[in-house]
Amino acid sequence: MVSAVSAASESASPAVSVSVSSAVSVSAVASAAGSVSAAVSSSAAVSVSAATVSRILNQDDTLSVTDETKQRVLKVAQELNYTKHLKNTVEKSISIGIFQWYSVFQELEDPYYQAIRVGIEKYCADHNIHVVRAFQSDCNYPDTLKDLQGLICIGKFNKSQIKSFQKLNSNTIFVDMKTPKIYCDTINLDFQQAVTEALDYLYDLGHRKIAYLGGKEVLADNSVYFEERKDTFINFCQEHSIDHKSFIYEGDYSAESGYNMTKQMIADGDLPTAIFSASDPLAIGAMRALYENGYKIPDDISIIGFDDISVASFSNPPLTTIHTPAEFMGEYAAHYILLRTKEDSLEQQTPIRLTLPCNLVVRNSCAAPRKQS
């Protein structure tokens, strides 16, 4: 599932896992089982092997013995004051930081970035990792993120910020950011593959007049982040002779922006047969604007989203969209940071870029364009 552009990507394989639960000490059980076995055998006509006793003490449901034998073993174990000896395999807790390029209020409005953070925190909770959270709106976030074993930065950052975070913590990975050159560890999505799959679907349905609804992401230095989805959309339309030049709208990635841009599209008087939205909230806002103006989806116009947020399947009609593994992206980032803290981890010789594929989820918001009379 993961395509990696790096010679060092094997060091972050998801097949590696870390156990943090308590486990029964095999040697302790074996020793106790021998004692219990001898006691049981000496007090009964039928001998019970140490192996059988061990399986009874470990509550092995696959063991085929009579209830009488089980009860006899447990009774003798109790008389010998046997208790399970647990080997504590919980590793020393580590602390990692999560830095979100949004403010806490902006994140509340963005289910995609929320899902990434949830994935990180879920993994950390399962692996005894303490999390320190900071937002770009926090004035003292460098102090908050000091002296940690790793750092996960979510969002888009300029070169100066990247260098600052790497100086703050050498074990840093950036999530949802693709740089022109690979000079830092990153995990991102294959937007080119995803947009191409969505447009191929619309093209195969017969659409030759497609609009683009997108947003602009502004970095801390006021520069605009490169939007790969828009670039892929334009290239695809040019290669397939799709009418699109007058149908490119950009605001932000919110439902309100999708609503306002679609209202403007309707006011312009020349609707496409399909709309590609670079986020699900954009698509949901567009659907409302279309319904308010008497258009039916997908009878009059098709619409496709991006992200596959939880409400996408409950829109009317259910939204065809691109599923992005946002939560898994967060989990994998935390997994990678944890691997880098291990004493036996590979010495990293070069930055890595992990690229995760997306997939089209077909629901009910797209259909073949209505034939012109």
pLDDT in tens, 84-105: 544 444 456 799 999 999 888 8
| pTM reported for the whole predicted model | 0.73
Per the structure, the count of domains in the chain is 3
> In terms of Cα–Cα distance, which of 130, 177, 135, 167 is closest to 149?
130
Higher-confidence residue: 60 or 119?
119
Torsion on CA atoms 206, 212, 213, 218, rounded to nearest 10: 150
Residue 141 and residue 225 in one domain? no
Of 1-15, 33-47, 104-118, 138-152, the poorest mean pLDDT is in 1-15
Q: How many residues does the chain have?
A: 373
Domain boundary among 87, 116, 140: 87
The CATH number that applies at residue 311 is: 3.40.50.2300
Mean pLDDT of 180-189: 90
Is the same domain home to 204 and 266? yes
Does residue 311 sit in the same domain as residue 342? no
**14-18, 218-222, 242-246, 263-267: least confidently modelled range:** 14-18
The span from the CA of 366 to the CA of 368, in Å, is: 7
Query: What pLDDT, in 10s, does the model give residues 14-38?
Result: 332 222 333 333 444 445 555 655 6
Domain of 42 in residue numbering reads as 23-87
pLDDT value of residue 61: 65
Q: Do residue 342 and residue 253 come from a single domain?
A: no
Collapsed DSSP state (helix, strand, coil) of residue 172: strand
Residue 361 lies in a domain: no
Is 373 within the bounds of a domain?
no
Is the dihedral angle over the CA atoms 209, 213, 216, 217 positive or is it negative?
Answer: negative
Please report, rounded to a whole number, the percentage of residues in the chain having pLDDT higher than 70: 82
Angle formed at CA 348 by CA 345 and CA 354, multiple of 5 degrees: 95
Same domain? For 208 and 321 the reply is yes
Q: Are residues 243 and 110 in the same domain?
A: no
Examine the domain organization and report whether 9 and 144 are in the same domain: yes
276 pLDDT band, cuts 50/70/90, is: very high
- Note whether 11 and 42 are same-domain residues: no
d(CA 219, CA 101): 9
The reply to whether 118 and 71 lie within a common domain is: no
